[in-house]
Amino acid sequence: MLHLRVIVPPDQSPAVTDLLAADPGVTHLVVLSDAARQPRGDLILCDVVRESADSVLHGLRQLGVEARGGIAADDVELTISTAADRAARTAPGSGADAVVWDEIAAKTGEQTELSATYLVLLIVATMIAGIGVLLDQPILIVGAMVVGPEFGPLAALCVALLRRRGRVILRSVQALVVGFLAAMVATVLSTWALDLAGLVTRDMLLAERPLTDFIWRPDALSWVVGLLAGVAGMLSLTSKKSGSLVGVLISVTTVPAAANVAVAAAYRVWHEAAGSALQLLINLCAIVLAGLLTLVVQQLGWWRLARREAGRPARRGR
């Protein structure tokens, strides 16, 4: 369930109140006249079940509430209310499967920023993976996968492609390209520094590495894993199952592949660098493709459900 705080000018307040009151998924509706000061207007509070949240937010935006007022939404962790239970039963679909598109767009939009924190996390993750490649240590590879923040821009790219937001698409691609290039350059430099210190050698890269050599040897299963990871990652994002997202991060070899490219380039083992680059490209494309298809299926499913529910009163009337 979401808690909505809506600020509207007084002349819009009746229309907004009627919209919220007419939706069966809305409950605990409160109207405070002239309570808002910046911007000035009425403050309307309500709780809405997740199944109805997307249609409610869409209706508010159609009324132009955001132009002269504002809309804020927060998750409600606990609600003890017969009215809330009744709203959940009345609203179509399941709250666990509900997708609030404005929420997803806002959440993923934050992940497209090429911030210092994002770059540092990606660089650190790639450097850790680079050491894991040389030591043939899966534990370090897994740790690097968890630390890597690259799924944020990938998810933002999927949402932006679906909603045709060109600016977000460009920002997402920029975050991925600049981030991975910076991480690989830093890993090349760190590999040279470790080599000069006598901590790693070229022979370590050329030696048999049975536990991590899959990173630079992509095959058909690389596509399969990437596609499955894209589906699971997008579902974990839209359904707020963050625990599942950790498993997704561990399952794909984006950061390890970038690290293997950097380490192999540092030692001029070009065939291994090329194989790792292909692995990286396969995983990125598979995740985006699967994530986009997952969003399309979810959107179509909710559209069909909404149309079926909208047609029920007419059938009853007959």
* Residue in this structure with the two tokens 């968890």, named with its chain if needed: 146
Indicate the residue among 55, 81, 98 that finishes a domain. Answer: 98
**Is 309 part of any domain?**
no
Lowest mean pLDDT among 61-65, 283-287, 312-316: 312-316
- Same domain flag for 127 and 219: yes
- Same domain flag for 218 and 181: yes
- Same domain flag for 143 and 250: yes
**Is 10 part of any domain?**
yes
pLDDT of 22-37, one tens digit each?
988 899 999 999 999 9
Question: What is each CA distance from 239 to 77, 78, 103, 246, in whole angstroms?
Answer: 14, 17, 11, 14
Output the domain CATH number for residue 18: 3.30.70.120
Q: Provide the residue range defining the domain that includes 42.
A: 2-98
Q: What percent of the chain has pLDDT over 70?
A: 89
pLDDT of 72-120, one tens digit each?
998 888 888 899 888 888 876 666 667 787 777 777 766 778 889 999 9
CA 248 from centroid of its chain's CA atoms: 12
What is the average pLDDT across 51-62?
Answer: 89
pLDDT exceeds 90 at position 272: yes
pLDDT of 133-158, one tens digit each?
999 999 999 889 888 888 889 988 99
Using an 8 Å Cβ cutoff, are 200 and 191 in contact?
yes
- Same domain flag for 170 and 252: yes
Question: What is each CA distance from 303 to 1, 23, 47, 200, 309, in whole angstroms?
Answer: 20, 17, 22, 56, 10
Task: Identify which has the larger pLDDT, 42 or 152.
Answer: 42
Answering whether pTM is above 0.75, one says yes
Using an 8 Å Cβ cutoff, are 10 and 33 in contact?
yes
Average pLDDT score over the chain: 87
Tell me what pLDDT residue 71 has: 93
pLDDT exceeds 60 at position 246: no
Tell me what pLDDT residue 75 has: 86
pLDDT exceeds 90 at position 129: yes
Tell me what pLDDT residue 244 has: 47
pLDDT exceeds 70 at position 279: yes
Tell me what pLDDT residue 275 has: 95
Tell me what pLDDT residue 186 has: 97
Tell me what pLDDT residue 317 has: 36
**Is 298 part of any domain?**
yes
- Same domain flag for 138 and 206: yes
What is the average pLDDT across 5-13?
Answer: 94
Beta-ladder partners of 2:
48, 75
Tell me what pLDDT residue 174 has: 94
- Same domain flag for 93 and 218: no
- Counting the structural domains of the chain, the total is 2
Sheet holding 2-8, edge to edge: 26-37, 40-48, 2-8, 70-75
Q: How confident is the model at residue 178 (pLDDT cuts 50, 70, 90)?
A: very high
Cα 298 to Cα 232: distance, rounded to the nearest angstrom: 13
Cα 73 to Cα 49: distance, rounded to the nearest angstrom: 12
CA dihedral 77, 81, 86, 91 (to 10 degrees): -20
Tell me what pLDDT residue 242 has: 53
Tell me what pLDDT residue 248 has: 56
**Is 313 part of any domain?**
no
